[in-house]
Amino acid sequence: MYSDIFDTKGIEYLIVIGFLLLIVPFWIMLNRPLNLKAKVSKAVGILSEQILRIPQGLFYSKSHTWTFLEKSGLAAVGMDDLLLHLTGGVELQYLKNDNEMVKRGDAIVRITQDGKELVIASPISGEIQHVNTLLKQNPGAISEDPYKSWLYKIKPEKWSEETSRYYLAGEATEWLKKELTRFKDFMVETLNQSPGQPVVVLQEGGELIDNPLAEMNKEVWNDFQVKFLNTER
């Protein structure tokens, strides 16, 4: 006997099946490797450890710079991805020139945003051979890929001695995760001490928005400088 699906419970089954077709792909996506979770976090504007890029062959300084010794014998120096996710878009002012000598902990770059600034310290000592002036024309490139967008290339004086205290490979990954947690604590403390600061930097559940320092004032940037970037001085 012929039975019309719309006169039976068939329509309810179709609704359930349709719901599963919508929710199952999303569930699968969330349970795939971290790179897909990172895309989800990035899409909703959350700053999480999953979206951080941490190449394993670089040496990471506690001042949130990195360095890498090239085959030429020169060491490339730049800023790490966490720092740039915290600040958002910035403008660069180089503080050193070709052929200048620099010591570990010397100020080499000033980054600015809407009247706020941070000073970046060199992770190594040596003679500056090249300044990446292309970043002056396109400062946004450093946020797109902070590990291709080096700041300086330096002929190092004490490579083994100075990099022995830095983080490499798995240690770098674990350290940057801890730094993100430390920054969350820093934000909570800042918001508690300064009620006028925008609570929007923390989403419901305590998740950070991406580029949280962009929402903060100059005093908070100064405090961040002391607590997170002055460790090499």
Q: Flag whether 185 is in a domain.
A: yes
Whether residues 9 and 58 share a domain: the answer is no
Amino acid at 116: K
Q: Which two tokens stand for residue 145?
A: 């890929």
Q: Looking at residue 72, which CATH number applies to its domain?
A: 2.40.50.100
Q: Flag whether 40 is in a domain.
A: no
Report the pLDDT value the prediction gives residue 186, as an integer from 0 to 100. 94
Whether residues 80 and 160 share a domain: the answer is yes
Count of domains observed in the chain: 2
Whether residues 228 and 169 share a domain: the answer is yes
Whether residues 17 and 128 share a domain: the answer is no
Q: Which domain holds residue 19?
A: 5-31
Report the pLDDT value the prediction gives residue 70, as an integer from 0 to 100. 97
Whether residues 123 and 16 share a domain: the answer is no
Whether residues 200 and 177 share a domain: the answer is yes
* pLDDT over 50 (residue 36): no
Q: Flag whether 37 is in a domain.
A: no
Whether residues 170 and 125 share a domain: the answer is yes
Whether residues 127 and 217 share a domain: the answer is yes
Burial of 36 (0-12, 13-18, 19+ CB in 10 A): middle
More confident residue, 18 or 207: 207
Q: Flag whether 134 is in a domain.
A: yes
* pLDDT over 60 (residue 35): no
* pLDDT over 80 (residue 188): yes
Report the pLDDT value the prediction gives residue 230, as an integer from 0 to 100. 87
Whether residues 23 and 85 share a domain: the answer is no
Report the pLDDT value the prediction gives residue 160, as an integer from 0 to 100. 96
Q: Flag whether 36 is in a domain.
A: no
Q: Which two tokens stand for residue 180?
A: 């993100």
Report the pLDDT value the prediction gives residue 38, as an integer from 0 to 100. 42
Enter the pTM of the model. Answer: 0.78
Report the pLDDT value the prediction gives residue 166, as an integer from 0 to 100. 97
Whether residues 116 and 203 share a domain: the answer is yes
Mean pLDDT for 192-197 is: 71
* pLDDT over 60 (residue 51): yes
Tell me the torsion sign for CA atoms 201, 151, 159, 123: negative
Report the pLDDT value the prediction gives residue 45, as an integer from 0 to 100. 76
Nearest to 213 by CA among 226, 232, 197: 197
Q: Flag whether 198 is in a domain.
A: yes
Q: Flag whether 72 is in a domain.
A: yes
Whether residues 86 and 119 share a domain: the answer is yes
Whether residues 166 and 216 share a domain: the answer is yes
Lowest average pLDDT, out of 83-92, 97-106, 112-121, 134-143, goes to 134-143
**Model confidence band, residue 6 (pLDDT cutoffs 50, 70, 90):** very low
What confidence tens digit (pLDDT) does each residue in 53-63 have? 999 999 999 99
Beta carbons within 10 angstroms of residue 71's beta carbon: 5
Contact 94, 106 (CB under 8 A): no
- The rounded distance, in Å, linking the Cα atoms of 150 and 146 is 7
* pLDDT over 70 (residue 34): no
Q: Flag whether 39 is in a domain.
A: no
Mean pLDDT for 16-30 is: 53
